[in-house]
Amino acid sequence: MTKDLRVNADRMLASFNQLALIGATGDGGVNRPTFSEAHLAARKWFREEIERSGLEFHTDGAGNHSAVLTCERSNAPTLLLGSHLDSVPKGGRFDGALGVMSALEVLRTVKENGIRLKVNLEAMDFTDEEGTHLSLFGSSAISGHMNPEDLKKPYSGRENFTAGLARAGLTEESLFTAKRPKESLAGYLEVHIEQGKRLERRGLNIGIVSAIVGYGSYRMSYIGRADHAGSSAMEDRLDAGQGVAAFILETRQSVLTKFPNCVANVGKLEFAPGASNIVPARADFLLEFRSPNEQQLAELDAALMKLAHAKAEQFGLQLTAEPLGRHTPSLMSDVMQQAFKDACDDVGLSSVVLPSGAIHDAQSLVDVCPVGMIFVPSVNGTSHSPFEITKWEDCVNGANVLLHATLRLGS
């Protein structure tokens, strides 16, 4: 009988649409950076939605919020499901939210159908997946990977970070209490939008993730000299803007020609003092790069640092480069991939195995418990944008595959 079981698509859509109103940007997107007013409102709404669903609400020292459905067996491990409710600045309404809403809907479906599983189920919203402050923050805390050194250099700066923690009722000490013992977790499953075009192009329903890329990031500065932008000769300038522009262009060439399957991005850049008539004395920027392969990630890191130094020398600049977040590439569990494949067959959906170029909470948990992840198609592959769309039918497909993988693993 459970083969025919499906999530309640109308109920899930109603929840999804309510959530999408929180921090809505008016163009289809949401703006919910971690610990912003909209993010805290989304978390409050999630707590109330859990309680309205008759599920137990749980939170921890890293601010992860979850719905819990306990089974009848004492000391049973927990099968964790989830994703994140924070967004990138002016992001889309599906990234992360779909995974949390799918997870909640699976618990509601299991509960209302009186299905007795051998595991507890928990549907989690992980804190700050997107890295407003620290990427994969909540999932790293749960897995015990939170590093006290990382807390000293959040992307947002110390002041914004500590103010955000205080707004959420958290402390730097409390973060370390979120760690879960390995034996308490039966596994972790996540549904996410693909954020690429592979499924759409091939007309497939579900992507079963084989591995998630590793990444590295740096806070960097070129330091030159402010000068009059009208009266100083071009050849006399120590222009930090020139250095960073050359670095960005050559980074692209280097990745394209020497690092297949890798990417690099300068996603934030500020000149100082910052006026049209002053030669930039400083260029402060954030660099991030990704690779599916550990050794290649290290080689890419070394090549980018060498290039950054070469550009400093060429333009007569000083360079500073402070390492920020770093994560090794992560393999998904064979058992979880098979459970998802079988679940696709149960629901009658097509699937393909593929790697993920985006980072996800799933990768934080790979050395704690078996981890699996699926993608549903993104229209035009667009994501981290208000124009991010996944057809509702595909969203429901993802939730149903999550449901059937959960039933297979938990029975």
Which residues here bind Mn ion, judged by CB under 5 A? 95-96
Does 402 interact with ligand GLV (rule: CB under 6 A)?
A: no
Backbone angles phi, psi at 362, to 5 degrees: -50, -35
- Identity of the residue, 218 or 315, whose beta carbon is nearer to ligand GLV in the bound complex: 218
- Residue 266: CB minimum distance to ligand GLV, A: 14
8 class by beta-carbon count within 10 Å (0-12 exposed, 13-18 middle, 19+ buried): middle
Q: Which does 347 bind (CB under 5 to 8 A by kind): Mn ion, ligand GLV, none?
A: none
Residue 190 interacts, among ligand GLV, Mn ion, none and using kind-specific CB cut-offs from 5 to 8 Å, with none
122 and 68 Cβ atoms separated by less than 8 Å: yes
Least distance CB 209 / Mn ion (angstroms): 12
- CA–CA dist 32, 42 (Å, integer): 8
Site for ligand GLV in 347-366 (CB under 6 A): 358-359
In the list 86, 130, 190, 301, the residue contacting ligand GLV (rule: CB under 6 A) is: 130
Please check whether residue 223 is in contact with residue 317, taking contact to mean a CB–CB distance below 8 angstroms. yes
Residue number closest to ligand GLV, CB atom: 358
Decide whether 190 or 239 has the Cβ nearer to Mn ion.
Answer: 190
Complete DSSP assignment for 351-408:
EEEEEESS--GGGGGTTTS-EEEEEEPPGGG--SSTT----HHHHHHHHHHHHHHHHH
The SS3 of residue 254 is helix
Which residue number, 204 or 358, has a Cβ lying nearer to ligand GLV? 358
* Dihedrals phi, psi of 55, to nearest 5 degrees: -105, 160
Q: Of 282 and 384, which has the nearer Cβ to ligand GLV?
A: 384
- Least gap, CB of 306 to ligand GLV (angstroms): 25
Residues 236-242: contacts with CB under 8 Å, at least 24 apart:
237/279, 238/279, 238/315, 238/316, 238/317, 239/279, 239/280, 239/315, 240/271, 240/280, 240/281, 240/282, 240/283, 240/315, 240/317, 241/271, 241/279, 241/280, 241/283, 242/315
Q: How many residues of this chain bind ligand GLV (CB under 6 A)?
A: 3
Q: Which lies closer to ligand GLV via its Cβ, residue 125 or residue 130? A: 130
User: How near is the Cβ of 91 to ligand GLV at its closest, in Å?
Assistant: 9
Pair of tokens at residue 56: 């137990």
| Residue 355 beta carbon to Mn ion: minimum distance, rounded to whole angstroms | 16
Q: Residue 359's binding partner, choosing from Mn ion, ligand GLV, none, with beta-carbon cut-off 5 to 8 A by kind?
A: ligand GLV
Give least dist CB 163 to Mn ion, A. Answer: 23
CA distance 63 to 69: 19
Please state the closest distance from residue 379 (CB atom) to Mn ion, in A: 16
| Residues 254, 325: Cα–Cα separation, whole Å | 22
Structure tokens at 271: 């000149």
- Tell the smallest beta-carbon distance from residue 379 to ligand GLV (Å): 17
Closer of 81 and 358 to ligand GLV (Cβ): 358
> Could you tell which of ligand GLV, Mn ion, none binds residue 370, using a CB distance below 5 to 8 A set by kind?
none
Query: Is 164 or 214 the residue whose CB approaches ligand GLV more closely?
Result: 214
- The distance of closest approach from Cβ of residue 142 to ligand GLV in the complex, given in angstroms and rounded to an integer, is 17
* Closer Cβ to Mn ion, 95 or 105, answer by number: 95
We find the least distance from the C-beta atom of residue 359 to ligand GLV, in angstroms, to be 4
b/e code 329-353 from CB counts within 10 Å (16+ = b):
bbebbeebbebbbebbebbebebee
Report the C-alpha gap between 276 and 251 in whole angstroms.
Answer: 26
Q: Which does 128 bind (CB under 5 to 8 A by kind): Mn ion, ligand GLV, none?
A: none
From CA 87, how far away is CA 20, in angstroms rounded? Answer: 11
105 vs 130 by CB, closer to ligand GLV: 130
Q: Which of 84, 96, 88, 65 is nearest to 170 (CA)?
A: 65
Strand-by-strand arrangement of the 263-272 sheet: 263-272, 282-291, 214-223, 318-327
Strands (E), 70-128: 78-83, 120-125
Query: Which amino acid, 116?
Result: R
Closer CB to ligand GLV, 130 or 227, in the complex: 130
**Residue numbers at the binding site for ligand GLV (CB under 6 A):** 130, 358-359
